A and B are shown apart, each in its own frame.
Chain A
């Protein structure tokens, strides 16, 4: 402890004195360039972890949610537009994205200690995992859904009467948000006992 303190003291003495060998211009420009390179590198590395290829490089994600996604309309459909994992699970906005990435450090922990490394463990934990995502989408008003599906562009005359009526009643009035009704649209659902559909009962206060 004492050694550590004296080391910190010495560092501070060097750090707080003006530079002897380097010019101010070198230090400012050099610092700027190093900053650019660090920031670029940081962002590149961050974006690599926001690619589907990165998500499914773990067998937990590849064999469970990804396999299920492949059956659904968000993967296979007539127009060939598809959602990749980060489209729904990583916020696009920087602040929220960093927040989500910080939470994701727990997922690294889970990977190292094999929290869901078998199908059975995954199924047992599915309700908890799904609830996290429902809560997140609920609190940001289904932002990741709306990155593609906007209420303004939604032409309900092109929808079935059933869907049009539901959207008029619940979505356009702001009474509900996408995730309240559209759960399990890209993955299989956990045991839904006690989870009411969006059009039934009261929506949990948020």
Chain B
């Protein structure tokens, strides 16, 4: 019995560095502290303040070529349903002159068989399935994503 306990304790001690490094190596940067993070279920933790929307109309660079562009403006109460697609009142081809908004990409006019249609394909109708506005919230876990340029440049892992 005693030897078994000792053995288990030894094994645990040996595994400890691995476990710990496993936890920390998963993320490049230390995760931001969130009050909604792990806490005893019996405890009620006040919620974090709501993050602010970023609505400065400033285009953000895409992290990879086919990333859906982000929405840099407020879209509160934008109606996207059978009756109307509010986004398209500016971003539709025929409305861009008046609105000076970027036109939806030509890929959106193709159905899944690659046939080009006269209008936006139904499968692309619900804009916010892919295009999202941003807030100033900090990521709750870090990540080591690097864009293609930094990989080609051969920078160090984790460097941005």
Q: Which residues of A contact B (CB under 8 A)?
A: 71-73, 160-162, 165-166, 184-185, 188-192, 197-201
**A177 CB to nearest chain B CB (Å):** 15
Cβ–Cβ < 8 Å partners of B99 in chain A: 166, 197, 199-200
Residues of B in contact (CB 8 Å), total 20
Per-residue contact bits, chain B 85-108, to A (CB 8 Å; 1 contact, 0 not): 010011000110111100000000
Residues in A neighbouring B89, C-beta threshold 8 A? 197, 200
Q: How far is the CA of A189 from the CA of B95 in the complex (A)?
A: 18
**Chain A, residue nearest B94 (CB):** A200
Is A160 within 8 A of B84, CB to CB? no
Q: How far is it, in angstroms, between the C-alpha of A95 and the C-alpha of B57 when the chains are bound?
A: 43
- The reply on B77 being an interface residue by CB < 8 A is yes
Q: A72-B77, A185-B77, A197-B98 are in contact. Are A190 and B83 (CB under 8 A)?
A: yes
A-B contact pairs, 10 of them (CB 8 A): A73-B76, A162-B57, A188-B79, A188-B83, A191-B84, A192-B84, A197-B89, A197-B95, A200-B89, A200-B97
| Closest partner residue, chain B, to A74 (CB atom) | B77
Chain A interface mostly:
loop
- B24-61 vs A: 1/0 string, CB under 8 Å? 00000000000000000000000000000001110000
A162 contact set on B, CB distance < 8 A: 57, 73
